[in-house]
């Protein structure tokens, strides 16, 4: 659980924290029973969570059977910098992180999603939807869609632009954006209303228009249909994946936890989880047993020099006719490498005892699962109280095959078309031994990149109406 939860028989409200870059974005998730979809609210000034106008619309949506996520795109400190308010690419990046977080929840992941944007948040919503074709509908209230002009032709979600009839300059800007949009679209003018819709009955009209739009476009996307059209998440890098995964593991924060990263890529993901849970971090080294003359083809895997465990693939061994003598020699050679790496990575520090602990084993992704199985079985020999496997992405088959090796499995994505772990990361650079050492020292490796800059397009700062 990532926050306090309250509710009744017909609804649930939960305070949540959403990880994005190094920030923790505060939010409020409201879910009516049998919700037909969820709408994420985006406001560039950072006041989305407490905005009375947004909350008014969210309550109207809830009455119509649609959930809402009210959260702040910017922290209080970030919102003080006016340039951040108009950095549409940054705001869109934050909104996409929140969308990934929401899809990562098992109870919501297949609900159709919509965006409700106000001011520069409307531009952020359109920019994000241009990249994420799964967004089901967008509503802009007094927004600045013109600030996302270069993204508008890529938007496929049905888009409703709502503007006050006396908000003359913003009407003109919305008309400009409307002409560029190539999706199903509508522009509604609320007569007599100014920019903030403070006039009597104005906000009620906004809520009614938004509810009708989301009802029409989200409710026709049933949960099965939304699942069928799912495209897999592509993470910015391992750190970003780790922060997303950590949100699903916060319920373990009060347990006696040890986090283990499967080297080398899993160590980077595990660092983020250990930080989120305030838990100690260690690594587990797994080595593939290569076939004769074909070291890239695994005939099995070995793990942990002190509690060695070997897992073999009998079908490949039989097909290739691998001899027992070769298997014994290759196992011995790889176990020596396991011991060498563990000694090098820890730099004299002792292993963290696992007996009686909740052990969370983390990898950056799972394709076949043979290495992970070796790791889990090696750890099981050390008698942990609870053994949890956590990964951002895996093939559905591997997760099914690993069910008996872990007490619990937390996996954010099991894409249908799974070819390699790297296809689900924009930055999947190989992790070096020196980086693993730095991670265990709780230092930031010098040659890794954080997503705050790598994931943002560089654009000019805008001045205008917010």
Give the model confidence (pLDDT) of 316-357 as tens digits.
888 888 898 998 898 888 888 888 888 888 888 888 999 999
Measured CA angle at 85 (ends 186, 457), to 5 deg: 85
Bridge partners (DSSP) listed for residue 390: 362, 410
Which of these, 102, 112, 178, 98, lies nearest to 144 by C-alpha position? 178
Cα(81)–Cα(76) distance, integer angstroms: 9
* More reliable by pLDDT, 458 or 142: 142
What is the band of 305 on the pLDDT scale with cuts at 50, 70, 90? Answer: low
464: left (phi over 0), alpha (psi -120 to 50) or beta: left
pTM of the complete model: 0.52
Categorize the per-residue pLDDT at 205 as very low, low, confident or very high, splitting at 50, 70 and 90.
Answer: very high
* Residue in 397, 381, 404 with CA at minimum distance from that of residue 389: 404
Extents of the domains making up the chain: 5-228, 238-452
Can you give the pLDDT at residue 46? Answer: 56
Q: Which fold has domain 5-228?
A: Rossmann fold (3.40.50)
pLDDT reported for residue 122? 95
Q: What does DSSP assign to residue 199? A: S
| 2 contacts: CB under 8 Å, gap ≥ 6 | 14, 16, 17, 247, 250
Tens of pLDDT, residues 81-96? 888 888 999 999 999 9
Fold exhibited by the domain 238-452? Rossmann fold (3.40.50)
Find, among 141, 179, 178, 139, the residue nearest to 159 by Cα. Answer: 139
The pair of three-digit structure tokens given for residue 307, joined into one six-digit string: 């509690």
Average pLDDT, rounded, for the chain: 84
Residue 454: predicted pLDDT: 35
The answer to whether the beta carbons of residues 115 and 40 sit under 8 Å apart is: yes
DSSP single-letter state for residue 233: P
Q: Which of 78-87, 178-187, 232-241, 293-302 has the highest mean pLDDT?
A: 178-187
The angle at the Cα of 111, spanning 105 to 114, to the nearest 5 degrees, equals 105
CB neighbours of 130 closer than 8 A, spacing ≥ 6?
A: 148, 151, 152, 153, 154, 155
DSSP state of 8: -
Averaged over 280-287, what is the pLDDT?
91
Residue 432 has pLDDT above 80, yes or no: yes
User: What pLDDT, on the 0 to 100 scale, is given for residue 339?
Assistant: 83
Q: Please determine whether the domains at 5-228 and 238-452 fall in the same fold group of CATH.
A: yes
The pLDDT score that the predictor gives to residue 10 is 58
Q: What is the pLDDT of residue 273?
A: 94
Mean pLDDT of 122-133: 93
Rounded distance between C-alpha atoms, residue 266 and residue 238, angstroms: 8
């Amino acid at each position: 659980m990532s926050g306090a939860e309250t509710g009744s028989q017909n609804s649930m409200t939960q305070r949540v924290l959403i990880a994005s870059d190094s920030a923790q974005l505060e939010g409020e998730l409201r879910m009516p029973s049998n919700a037909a979809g969820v709408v994420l609210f985006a406001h560039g000034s950072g006041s989305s969570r407490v905005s009375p106008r947004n909350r008014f619309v969210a309550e109207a949506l809830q009455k119509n059977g649609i959930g809402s996520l009210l959260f702040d795109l910017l922290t209080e400190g970030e919102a003080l910098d006016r340039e951040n308010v108009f950095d549409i690419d940054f705001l869109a990046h934050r909104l996409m992180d929140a969308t990934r977080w929401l899809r990562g929840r098992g109870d919501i992941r297949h609900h159709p999603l919509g965006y409700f944007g106000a001011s520069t948040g409307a531009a952020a919503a359109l920019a994000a939807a241009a990249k994420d074709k799964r967004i089901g509908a967008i509503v802009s209230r007094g927004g600045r869609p013109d600030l996302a002009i270069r993204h508008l032709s890529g938007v496929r979600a049905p888009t409703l632009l709502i503007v006050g009839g006396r908000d003359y300059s913003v009407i003109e800007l919305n008309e400009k954006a409307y002409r560029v949009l190539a999706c199903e679209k509508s522009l509604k003018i609320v007569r007599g209303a100014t920019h903030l819709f403070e006039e009597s009955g104005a906000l009620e009209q906004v809520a009614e228009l938004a509810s009708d739009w989301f009802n029409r476009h989200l409710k026709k996307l049933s949960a099965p249909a939304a699942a069928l059209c799912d495209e897999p998440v592509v993470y910015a890098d391992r750190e970003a994946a780790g922060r997303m995964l950590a949100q699903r593991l916060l319920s373990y924060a009060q347990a006696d936890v040890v986090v283990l990263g499967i080297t080398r890529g899993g160590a980077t993901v595990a660092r983020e989880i250990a930080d989120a849970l305030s838990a100690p971090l260690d690594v587990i080294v797994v080595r593939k047993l290569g076939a004769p003359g074909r070291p890239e083809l695994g005939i099995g895997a070995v793990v942990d020099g002190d509690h060695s465990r070997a897992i073999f693939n009998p079908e490949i061994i039989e097909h290739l006719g691998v001899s027992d003598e070769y298997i014994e020699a290759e196992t011995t050679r790889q176990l020596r490498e396991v011991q060498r790496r563990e000694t090098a990575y820890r730099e004299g520090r002792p292993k963290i005892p696992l007996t009686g602990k909740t052990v969370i084993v983390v990898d950056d992704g799972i394709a076949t699962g043979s290495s992970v199985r070796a790791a889990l079985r090696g750890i099981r020999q050390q008698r942990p109280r609870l053994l949890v496997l956590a990964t951002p992405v895996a093939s559905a088959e591997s997760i099914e095959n690993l069910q008996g090796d872990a007490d619990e499995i937390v996996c954010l994505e099991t894409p249908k078309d799974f070819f390699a772990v790297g296809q689900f990361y924009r930055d999947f650079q190989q992790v070096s031994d020196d980086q693993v050492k730095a991670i265990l020292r709780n230092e930031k490796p010098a040659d890794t990149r954080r997503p705050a800059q790598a994931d943002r397009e560089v654009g000019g700062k805008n001045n205008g109406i917010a």
